[in-house]
Amino acid sequence: MDAKIYNTQGKEAGKISLPENIFGLPWNADLVHQVVVSMQSNSRSNVAHVKDRGEVHGGGRKPWQQKGTGRARHGSSRSPIWKGGGVAHGPRNEKNFARKINQKMRQKALLVLLSRKYRDGEVVFVDALSYEAPKAKNAKEFLSAFNITKKKNAAFIALPSRHVPTLKSFRNFSNIEAGELQNLNPVSVLNKKQLVIVDPKIALEILAKKI
C-alpha cells in the first residue's frame, strides 16, 4: 500500500509504503464510539451545581402550625415546591463522569480512525515542515498549497517532535491544531477533517509502537 509524499509547496516528492496494520484496518464503529465518548467524558469539567433544600439560606422554622389553619402542611419554606427553595434532582458538581478506557482499546481506535481517514483521502504526508521563527505567513502559504481552507476543524498538523516555532506559526489559525504525533488521540483525529503527517518515516516508527 503506497502513498504519495509531498513537499511544503504541495508538489509530489516521493512515495512511501504504508503498513496494513496501521492504515489498512477495517472500520469498527462500536469501538470508536466507546473510546471517543469515554475520552470526552473524562475531559468533561463538572461546573453546573445547584443547592438542595438543606443548603439554601433560611427556612429554619415551620411556616405555620401543622393543623387548624386550613392550609396545606409544610415543614420548611425552603422546600423545592416553594419560591426561593432548594432544587430537587438538579446538577451537582460532585458527580463523577470518568470512564475507564483500556490502553489497547484506545490505541486500536486510533489506528482504525487513521485507516478510515486514509481510505477517505483525508491523510496527507509531508516530507518536512520546520520554521526557524514563528511566522503565520509561512503557515498560511503551507495551508494554501494543500487547499486547506475549511472554516472550522480544518486539519491537524502532526509533527514528529515538538518544534516550538512551527507550533506557534499555526497558533493563530482557529481551524488548525498542531501538535506532536505521539500525542495524537482518537478525539483529535475525529474532530478534524484532514490529517497532515510530517516526516512519514519517523511517523510510522512512532505509530508502530501503538500496535
> 124-183 pLDDT, tens per residue?
999 999 999 999 999 999 999 999 877 888 999 999 999 999 999 999 999 999 999 999
- The pLDDT, as a whole number, for residue 48 is 92
The whole-number pLDDT of residue 209 equals 87
Strands 2-6 and 12-17: antiparallel
Mean pLDDT, the chain, integer: 92
Q: Cα–Cα distance between 202 and 70 in angstroms, integer?
A: 82
pLDDT of res. 155? 93
pLDDT at 35 over 80: yes
Can you give the pLDDT at residue 78?
93
Domain ranges of the chain: 2-44+98-208, 48-96
Mean pLDDT of 49-72: 92
**pTM higher than the cut 0.85:** no
Q: Which residues have a Cβ under 8 Å from the Cβ of 39 and sit 6 or more positions away?
A: 101, 106, 185, 186, 187
Handedness of CA 161, 164, 166, 172 (dihedral sign): positive
Q: DSSP letter at 67?
A: S
Please count the other Cβ atoms lying within 10 Å of the Cβ belonging to residue 119: 14
What are the tens digits of pLDDT across the range 41-54? 999 888 999 999 99
Confidence of residue 1 (pLDDT cuts 50, 70, 90): confident
Residue 95: closest CA among 128, 46, 62, 136: 46
Which comes out higher in pLDDT, residue 60 or 73? 73
Q: Which fold has domain 2-44+98-208?
A: Ribosomal Protein L4; Chain: A; (3.40.1370)
* Structure confidence at residue 100 as a pLDDT band (50, 70, 90): very high
Phi then psi dihedrals of residue 174, to 5 deg: -70, -20
| pLDDT, tens digit, 9 for 90 and up, residues 9-27 | 989 889 999 999 999 999 9
Residue 149: the pLDDT is 79
Distance, CA of 108 to chain centre: 17
Q: What is the rounded distance in angstroms from the CA atom of residue 130 to the CA atom of residue 161?
A: 10
Q: Which residues are within 8 A (CB) of 98 and not within 5 positions of it... i.e. 6 or more apart?
A: 41, 42
Report, in angstroms and rounded to the nearest whole number, the Rg of the chain calculated over CA atoms: 27
